[in-house]
C-alpha cells in the first residue's frame, strides 16, 4: 500500500461520498500514483502517460507483491497518449478520474493547454462521477530565511532545465484550478491544503535535477561553472537544514480538490445543436460570397 497523505485524503473523500470507485482513469500517471491505484477496489483502471519510454520503464518498475497483485483490478492498462489529440480515448467513460500533478506536468508535453484540460477530461467523466486534482502551490520567487534555500534551488533547477533546452514543469495555484473547474462546468465539492515540509533530502532531489541537465549544456565552460555553483548550494542545503528544528523547512502547500460535473441545463444539447447548424449556415454563406 502506498503511504501518502494526499492519496489518503482522496481515499477519505471517496469513502465519505459513499460512491464506488468504478472505472478509474489515472489521467497523468506515474509510478507512485499507479501503485496506489493498484490497491483500490476499482472496476478496472486505465493509466495515461505522454512518454513512451516512461511507460516502458514503468511496466518494469511496478513489480508488485503477491498481496498487491491480489488487490489489483484485472481490467488494467497503461497507454501512451496526449490529451491534445482530440481522438484520444474517444468514447471511453470513467466513474473516477485522477489528475495527479497533471496540471504542472502539462507544460513539458503540451504547452499552453492547461486551460483546456478540465473540459477535455470532462468528456470522459460519467454523470455523478468525481474528478480529483492533486497539485502543488507554486514555489514563491522569494522567501525569508531559512525557506529562501528552497526558492533558490527551485530557480536554479529551472535555469538548468532551460539552459539544457528542455521545458520545466509549471505548477498552477489552487485558486486557478478552482476558477477553471467552474468555467468548465464543474462544482468544486471540497478542497484541502497540506503544508509542505521540505527536508534536506527533498531539497537535494530538486538540486539533482539541475545536475542531470548539465550534460545537455552547449557551453561546456558554463556547465563547469554551474557544476561548481550547484556544489556550493548543496553545501548550504546541509547547513541550513541542520539549523532548523526537525531538519524540515515549511514552505508552500500541496492541495487536493474534488469536483463533480454540473448537470447540463434542460435544452442545452438542443441549443448547442441549433447553434452548430447556424454556424454552419453562416460559414456556407461566407464561402458562397
Print pLDDT tens along the chain (289 aa).
Answer: 445 899 999 999 999 999 999 999 999 998 889 889 988 999 999 999 988 998 888 777 766 444 544 555 557 888 999 999 999 999 999 999 999 999 999 988 888 999 999 999 999 999 999 999 999 999 999 999 999 999 999 999 999 999 999 999 999 999 999 999 999 999 999 999 999 999 999 999 999 999 999 999 999 999 999 999 999 999 999 999 999 999 999 999 999 999 999 987 666 554 444 544 444 444 444 444 3
Residue 159 CB contacts under 8 Å (≥ 6 apart), including other chains:
210
Helices and strands in the chain: count of H runs, count of E runs: 11, 7
The pTM for the full model equals 0.84
What pLDDT is stored for residue 107 in this prediction? 87
CA gap 142, 148 in Å, rounded: 6
pLDDT of residue 268: 55
pLDDT recorded at residue 242: 95
Instruction: Give helix 200-213 / helix 148-163 axis angle, nearest 10°.
Output: 20
pLDDT of residue 78: 87
User: Is 173:138 a contact under the CB 8 Å cutoff?
Assistant: yes
**CB-side exposure of 256: number of CA atoms within 13 Å?**
19
96 contacts 33 by C-beta, under 8 angstroms: no
Measured distance between the N- and C-terminal CA atoms of the chain, rounded to whole angstroms: 65
Asked whether the bond before 146 is cis by omega within 30 degrees of 0, the reply is yes
Domains and CATH numbers, the chain: 1-136 (3.40.50.150)
3-state helix, strand, coil in the chain (%, to 5): 50, 20, 30
> Cβ distance 171 to 254 under 8 Å?
no
User: Distance between CA atoms of 123 and 64, rounded to whole angstroms?
Assistant: 32
Task: Evaluate whether 163 touches 230 at the Cβ level (below 8 Å).
Answer: no
Nearest CA among 226, 234, 257 for reference residue 137? 257
Other beta carbons within 10 Å of 123: 13
Specify the pLDDT at position 16: 94
Write down the pLDDT at residue 76.
Answer: 81
pLDDT at position 267, please? 61
How many Å apart are CA 209 and CA 167, to the nearest integer? 12
d(CA 198, CA 250): 6
Q: What is the pLDDT of residue 89?
A: 96
Amino acid at each position: 500500500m502506498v503511504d501518502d497523505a494526499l492519496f489518503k485524503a482522496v481515499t477519505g473523500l471517496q469513502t465519505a461520498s459513499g460512491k464506488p470507485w468504478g472505472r478509474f482513469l489515472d489521467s497523468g500517471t506515474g509510478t507512485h500514483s499507479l501503485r496506489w491505484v493498484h490497491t483500490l477496489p476499482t472496476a478496472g483502471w486505465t493509466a495515461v502517460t505522454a512518454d513512451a519510454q516512461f511507460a516502458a520503464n514503468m511496466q518494469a518498475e511496478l513489480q508488485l507483491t503477491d498481496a498487491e497483485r491480489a488487490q489489483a483490478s484485472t481490467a488494467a492498462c497503461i497507454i501512451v497518449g496526449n490529451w491534445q489529440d482530440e481522438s484520444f480515448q474517444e468514447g471511453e467513460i470513467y466513474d473516477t478520474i485522477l489528475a495527479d500533478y497533471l496540471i504542472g506536468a502539462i507544460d513539458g508535453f503540451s504547452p499552453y493547454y492547461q486551460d483546456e484540460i478540465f473540459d477535455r477530461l470532462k468528456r470522459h467523466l460519467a454523470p455523478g462521477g468525481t474528478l480529483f486534482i492533486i497539485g502543488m502551490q507554486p514555489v514563491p520567487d522569494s522567501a525569508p530565511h531559512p525557506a529562501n534555500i528552497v526558492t533558490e534551488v527551485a530557480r536554479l533547477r529551472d535555469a538548468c532545465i532551460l539552459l539544457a533546452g528542455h521545458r520545466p514543469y509549471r505548477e498552477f495555484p489552487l485558486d486557478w484550478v478552482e476558477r477553471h473547474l467552474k468555467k468548465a462546468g464543474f462544482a468544486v465539492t471540497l478542497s484541502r491544503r497540506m503544508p509542505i515540509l521540505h527536508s534536506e533530502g527533498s531539497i537535494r532531489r530538486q538540486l539533482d535535477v539541475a545536475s542531470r541537465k548539465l550534460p545537455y549544456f552547449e557551453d561546456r565552460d558554463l556547465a563547469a561553472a554551474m557544476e561548481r555553483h550547484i556544489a556550493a548550494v548543496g553545501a548550504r542545503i546541509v547547513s541550513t537544514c541542520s539549523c532548523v528544528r526537525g531538519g524540515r523547512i515549511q514552505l508552500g502547500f500541496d492541495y487536493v480538490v474534488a469536483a463533480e460535473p454540473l448537470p447540463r441545463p434542460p435544452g442545452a444539447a438542443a441549443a448547442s445543436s441549433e447553434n452548430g447548424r447556424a454556424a454552419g449556415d453562416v460559414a456556407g454563406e461566407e464561402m458562397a460570397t
